[in-house]
Structures are given as C-alpha cells and as structure tokens.
Amino acid sequence: MDHHRTWLADSVNLEEEARGDLLQPFCLQLEQKAHRRYQLLDTFDWSIWQQGEILLYNQTQGEGRSYELWQRGDFFSGTPSQVVPHSGQKHRFWWEFTSLAGSGLQKQLKRSCKLRALLELHPFELDQLRYAVKNEDQKSVAWLEQITLHGKSENQGVRRVLRLVPVRGYERELKKLQKKIQQAGFPLYDGALLEEHLIDSEKFPAQYQSKPSIVITEEDPVREVVLRYMRSLLSVSRENEAGIIDDLDIEFLHDYRVSLRRIRSIISLVSKIFSVEETRWLKKEFAAIGKKTNLLRDLDVYLLEQENYRALVPPVLSGGVDELFESLTLDRKRELSRVRRWLRSAGYRKRLEYMQQRLTGTAETLGTGVRSEQPVLQVASLEISKKFHKIGKLGNKIDSSTSDEEVHDLRLECKKLRYLLEFFGGLFAKKSLNKAVSVLKKLQDNLGRFNDLSVQQESLERFLQDHQQQQSTLSAAVGGLISALSREQREERMRVTENFALFYSPENRQLYAQMVDAGLVNKEVGKSASKGEQA
Amino acid sequence: MKIVACYSIKGGVGKTATAINLAYAAAQDGLRTLICDLDPQGASSYYFRVRPSTKLKADTFFTRRDRLVRNIKGSDYPRLDILPANLAYRDFDQMLAGMKKSRLRLSQLLHSLSDEYDLVVLDCPPNITILSENIFHASDQVVVPVIPTTLSQRTFSQLLGFYKESNLKRKSLLPFFSMVEQRKRMHNEVRQDMRKAYKRFLQSEVPYSVDVENMGVTREPLLVTQPRSPAALAFTQLWRELKQRSNGVSQGELKGAKDGD
C-alpha cells in the first residue's frame, strides 16, 4: 500500500457526506460500487498468515466462488497472486485441492499447512466505492477509492480508508489532491487494514503458539519460572481440546499431548522445587491425563503411514494392507469417540480446572523444595550440564552389541536435554544455543526414526496376535511389513554411532561448557564428565 | 508488441473513430494498449479529453525517449494510455528529412516501448509524407477505412500504387468498409467491385451511424456509450478480425511469396 496516498476515514462515509467541496475544483463521479463477501481460511496456528499470505474464499454473489491467495501487503490495494474458481464443497486439507493441482495453489498450501486443516477463521465483507476525480474537461486525473472492511454485521470491526490511485501523466493533479485530502483532516494511514479489522473483531492472528515463549531473567526464582511454564503449557493443551473433539485434524491431539509431556518433563527435570508430596501428586495427575490419549495418537500415526506401508509390500499383498487400514480406521473411530466422551465429561473438566487453580495459586499451594528460590540460571546450567554428560556416558557405551533397550534410553535422555534447552534457552546466547540444538536435533531425528520403527513393528505384531483367525493375505501383508520395517530399523541403528560422535565431540563439549559456565556454582560439575571422557 | 495504424489518404472516413474504438476494444481484451495521436489536429486526444501536450518538440519526439514517455497520459479506461497530439507534429517531415535512416525512426522509437505495451494503435494524419512512410514501416497492420464510393476507390488505388513503388509489404495493408449505407446503390456496387479486386479486404463493415458522429459530443468511445449499437458491434467485430489476421500473418509469411501479388 502506498502510504502517502492512503488515509484513515473511520468517521466519514463518502456516500453519505456532502463530498462536493472535498476536492474542489475537481469533482467526484461514482464509477463503481462493489461489495464482496469473504471467508478467511487458515490453519489453527495461522500458518498461511505466518508465511506472509492470506487465503480467502470469495463468496460474493454473482461473481462465482473462488479461492484467492494474496500476499499480505497487497490485500485490497493490489491483486491476488492467485485466483482459482471453485464451487461446491470447500476443501479442508491441501491434498484435497487435487482439482486445482495445476494451479500451483496446492503446492503452496502443502508448504504452509502440512497436516493441518483449513478452518473458516473469520467471515468479513469489503465495500469498495470507486470515484473518478474529474478535471474541468471531465477527464479523470485520479481515482479515489473508499474501502470499508467490516464483519458479518455492518458495524462489527469497521475499518475504513480513502485511497488515491494515480492516473499516468497527471502527477501534478495528484499532488494537489493529496494536499486537499490532507487539509481536510484525514490522517495518513500506513497500517494493515485486515489485521486491524481482525483484532477489532477479537481474532488474533498467529496468537496460538504450540511452544509458549515466556520471558525469563537469570535471577528469577526457578520455581516461579517453572510455574509460569506449566501454566502456559496447560492452557495450550486446553486450547486444543475443541479441535480434538471436532476431529478437525490430528495436530490438535498432537499439540495437546506434547504440551502435557512438556509439563511432565519439567516437573521431573527440575526437581526439588515443590514439596515431595506435591511433586508426586503432580507427576501422577499429568501422567494419568496423558495416558488417556496414547492409543488415539498411535492410531493417527499408523494411518499417516498408509502410503509408506503400501510402498513397503509387494503388490500381491496390497489387498492385505487395505484390510489392515480398514481395520485401523475402525479402531480409530471407536477410540476417538471414547476420547471425546472423556474430554466432554464433567469429571475431566473439573479435574483440569482444579489443576489450573493449583498452578496459579500462591507460593504455598504446591509446597516448597530446597531449590525453590534458587536463581533460574543456576539451576538450568546445572541440569543442562548434568544431562549433557549423562548422554555422553550412555552414548559412549553403545556399540554394535548394545541392546535396543539402551538405544531407547539414549533417546529418552536426548529428549530431556532438548526440553531443558527449550525451557531455559532464553537464558543463553542465541548463537551457541542454536548450534547446540541443531547438533542434538540430528541425533534425535536418528533415534526417533529408530524408535518409531520398533514401535510400529511391535504394534503390528500385536495386531497379528489379535487377528489370528483372519485371512492369510492379511497376515502375509503384515508379516511382510514387519520384516521391511526391521530392515529399515537396522539401517537407522547404524547411523546412531556416527551422530553420537558428533554430539559428544570435543567441539560440542566445549560449546556446552562455555554456555553453562556463568551459571555453574560448582565448576567441577561441568568438568567432571569431560574428565571422565578423557579417561 | 504489435503496432496497428489507422490510416487513410482521405480525411473524414472514420479513421479516428476506428482508432479509438479499436484501442478501447483491445484494452478491454486485456492488452496493455497505447494510442498515439499523430495527427496534429488532435482528434483522438480530444475524444479522450486529454489536452495536447505543449512541451514536446518535434525533434525530441524522435531522439529523447524519456521526454516522449513523460507525455503519455492514462485514459479513463483500464490498460489504455494515450500519447496526445502536438502541434509540433506539423514539423515532423521537415525534421525527419534531415535524419539518417529517416524511414525507420518511428519503428525504432515505438519498439522501445515494448516492455510497457502489448499494442500500439496509431491515429495517423491523412496524407502521404515521410511520416506516413515511417508508419508503414513500423506497423504490423495498416487498417484503412474506405467509404464505398468511387472517389475512395481511387484514393485506395493510389495508396496501393505507393506501396508498390516503395516496395512495402502490401500484405499488411488491410482495408475495410467504413460508413456503409446499405440503402445507397453506389455503396453496394463499389463494395462488390473492390472486394473482387482486392482479396485482403476485411470482412467487417462499419455502418454509417449518427452515434459515431456524436462521439464528438460524448467524448467517449462508442463502445462505452452505446456498446450494443450496430456500429459498436462492428468495431468489436473488426478488432476480432484483426486479431485473427495478426495470428494468421505469420502463417501467411510461412507460405512465402507464392501468392505475392
């Protein structure tokens, strides 16, 4: 938007006001009156918006329905970067845009939305009045547009601007007009019209964050920081409940579970900040809640693997794979309604509300531990250092003869270190932190794939046992899958040693040592393990 | 970028009305269009309510692209711009005569605008001069309005003769009947004669119409004020035919000199 030619006009309506002398000696002649109805589409976490784009469903009567993709800065003053006609049922996932595959829209949505569904986030309307600004020859020397955004009702979140659009060769006239509008008292506008309208309508773009970021300073008492985290995480969980119940997409459940898992981790990773009894109670409660959705998440993951599984077995067995997935789909349906009932139940609601109250309560409510009041930097540095060297010890023991169990243990410890870096990352220099995370992430991805493959095999084995009386094609397909997965798993296993070596390299040890140095009271903790390493 | 000239040796044949409505139809069709009013009388400029430019001098017209571009004005219609007439155009010939490659100057100049426009429509002054030769060289299509009278028949032959003498591509010369009055016997006879004699005559015929004459009062293209009138429909048809021919031109060129007349 050219901000020298756009003015805020919230209190004026050119259609109603006497506009005769606004631009004298030029006069205004109405050329076009347009009214458009839009639905803003985006994922729950506003991923399209975050990419700097806007996806709209244009449902203006008489225009033919269409999807419009806009660059955010172009909205209403430019033209959409893509317009794809579409009527009929609205699409929810990028992969449903098959009929529009050639348009490139599908590809762009795939990049932003991933597994998330498109939701109708906000309906709004746009009224556009376009006047020709005429000189004494009745020649148009500029266009004056009045653009009004409002919600479903005409007075909801009203935002109005005036905008001068130049006509080539009439620069002098344009300058005069700019001056006249300025003099009439309209304030120059360089805001983002749609965003302001959304906020007025209490829709907050990109407010939801699956990983809450909270501001912490080195000296904050650790217990207070942890409580703040737990509160934010718990409310992230709760924000996802409705999406799980409505089964909008599988990321709601995922985010719900991840937040709860983060809460459990922080409780056990940062010990001795609540009283012993309260800590035990918190752990028990959050574990119980998390467990309730294990099966549903597992089923979501299997169903996601559908295409991969198909590629793993020979075509003769594909009928068996179909059966497997039909059966899994049924299981999921059953499991979903169980989870729904649970989330809707008064018992669940009351329990969660009680937890929230406990977390917001005063310092005394969860008791105190010996470390409650220690500065967060001190506790964080110690825990990160300890965890880093613990992984070092575990990893050093791993060779080709180590059991899978020990590899899984390594994975769990890495995950804990990752959480620590996430929770307390704000305390450390960004550059070192990013480096630390990226090395860790590589090892974790490796271990994660290794784990997924073994979980998948186990569950397929269970499936075989549960369905022993089934036809032989199904059993053969499942058997084939298991052996293919086991092959892949061995390959992942081979990469672990290599990735671990990078993680526990002298360079990375140095990085961690420097990172935690300022916060360590007992400097020996940081060194001890590196000594152990040299031994 | 394509260049289409509206040209006639004879005045008062509907040349400017044709230029304006063709340019408007093209812009509506999605082409970024520039209409150049090369006639010092400035009829096109008048129709578009654009005052003639006073600053542009004949010599800078051909030598200073930036000055020329600065004189381009937006019309009241999307994608349609106009380069208004200028009294200095009267001196074009004198000025061109003193330049090297004097017959190719206009072509060079217009092609320098090819990143801004898809189509340039030239509204030409009614005479044969060095400027007209420039126009013939520059244009992909030269559209010639012909009133079906014996007098027009004669001037069209003169034009053909000039093309032959000057070794210009006669293929680009596209006459059509303008201001046709079905009631007049002479009009019908001349149309038949001329179509027989000159195969490249366009099929579209623009009827005589008071609406076209009224354009001087409304100062807007007929396609804007009376889009359903017979003359407006004929202009639209004419634009479509030119577009088809334009696509066909390359095919014609491929066929080569076989039908060279």
Q: Which tens digit of pLDDT belongs to each residue from A296-308?
A: 999 999 899 888 8
**Could you say which of A132, A138, A169 has the minimum Cβ distance to residue B73?**
A169
CA distance A197 to A186: 19
Query: Are A365 and A393 part of one and the same domain?
Result: no
Q: State the ipTM, two decimals.
A: 0.83
How many domains does the structure of chain A reveal? 3
What is the structure's pLDDT at B251? Answer: 39
A143 touches chain B (CB under 8 A): no
Mark residue A114 as left, alpha or beta (left: phi above 0; alpha: psi -120 to 50; beta: remaining): left
A62 touches chain B (CB under 8 A): no
Pair (A53, A181) in one structural domain: yes
* The domain boundary residue, chosen from A374, A399, A425: A374
Per residue in B157-177, pLDDT tens? 999 999 999 999 889 999 999
- Report the C-alpha gap between A69 and A111 in whole angstroms: 14
Rounded CA separation A49/A8 (Å): 24
Given A160, A178, A200, the domain boundary residue is A200
Poorest-pLDDT segment among A316-320, B145-149, B228-232: A316-320
- In which domain, by residue range, is A532 found? 375-535
The predicted-structure confidence for A78-130, as pLDDT tens digits, reads as follows: 889 888 888 778 889 998 887 665 668 888 899 999 999 999 999 999 999 99
Q: Which residues contact A484 (CB under 8 A, 6 or more apart)?
A: A312, A313
Whether residue B49 and residue A139 make contact (CB cut-off 8 A), yes or no, is yes
Q: Are residues A214 and A172 in the same domain?
A: no
Rg, C-alpha atoms of chain A: 30
Give the pairing of strands B2-6 and B141-146.
Answer: parallel
Q: Could you give the CA distance from residue A278 to residue A274 in angstroms, rounded to a whole number?
A: 6
Question: Do B16 and B143 meet the contact criterion of CB atoms below 8 Å apart?
Answer: no
The pair of three-digit structure tokens given for residue A327, joined into one six-digit string = 């059966």
- Cα–Cα distance measured from residue A391 to residue A535, given in angstroms and rounded to the nearest whole number: 16
Q: What is the pLDDT of residue A206?
A: 80
* Amino acid residing at A282: L
A532 and A415 in a common domain: yes
Please tell me whether residues A121 and A257 are part of one structural domain: no
What pLDDT sits at residue A52?
Answer: 93
Q: Do B76 and A137 touch (CB under 8 A)?
A: no
Q: Are residues A316 and A397 in the same domain?
A: no
* Domain identity same for A347 and A401: no
**CATH code where residue A191 lies:** 2.40.320
A331 & A405 share domain: no
Residues A501, A392: Cα–Cα separation, whole Å: 9
CA-nearest residue of chain B to A165?
Answer: B74
Does one domain contain both A389 and A471?
yes
Residues A278 and A337 in one domain: yes
Q: Quick check: A139 and B50 CB within 8 A?
A: yes
- Give the residue from chain B lying closest to A171, CA to CA: B73
Q: Out of A374, A409, A430, pick the residue that ends a domain.
A: A374
Residue A310: CB atoms within 10 A of its CB come to 16
Residues linked to residue A129 through DSSP beta bridges, in sequence order: A33, A146
Residue A386 covered by a domain: yes
| Cα atoms in the Cβ-side hemisphere of radius 13 Å centred on A105 | 26
* Whether residue A278 is found in the same domain as residue A421: no
Residues of B in contact with A166 (CB under 8 A): 74
Indicate the average pLDDT of chain B.
87
B→A contacts (Cβ < 8 Å), by residue, are 48-51, 70-74, 76, 81, 219
For residues A267 and A302, membership in a common domain is answered with: yes
Is the minimum CB–CB distance between A138 and chain B shorter than 8 Å? yes
d(CA A207, CA A213): 11
Q: Looking at CA atoms only, how far is residue B100 from chain A in angstroms?
A: 31
Nearest CA in chain B to A132: B76
**Residue A524 covered by a domain:** yes
Q: What is the pLDDT of residues A95-107, one digit of tens each?
A: 888 766 566 888 8
The answer as to whether A1 is a domain residue is no
Q: Do the domain assignments include residue A457?
A: yes
Q: What is the CATH number of the domain that holds A389?
A: 1.40.20.10
In degrees, rounded to 5, the angle at the alpha carbon of residue A385 between the alpha carbons of residues A382 and A391 is 135
What global pTM score does this model have?
0.79
Task: Set out the domains of chain B in order of their start, with CATH numbers.
Answer: 2-259 (3.40.50.300)
The residue type found at A61 is: Q
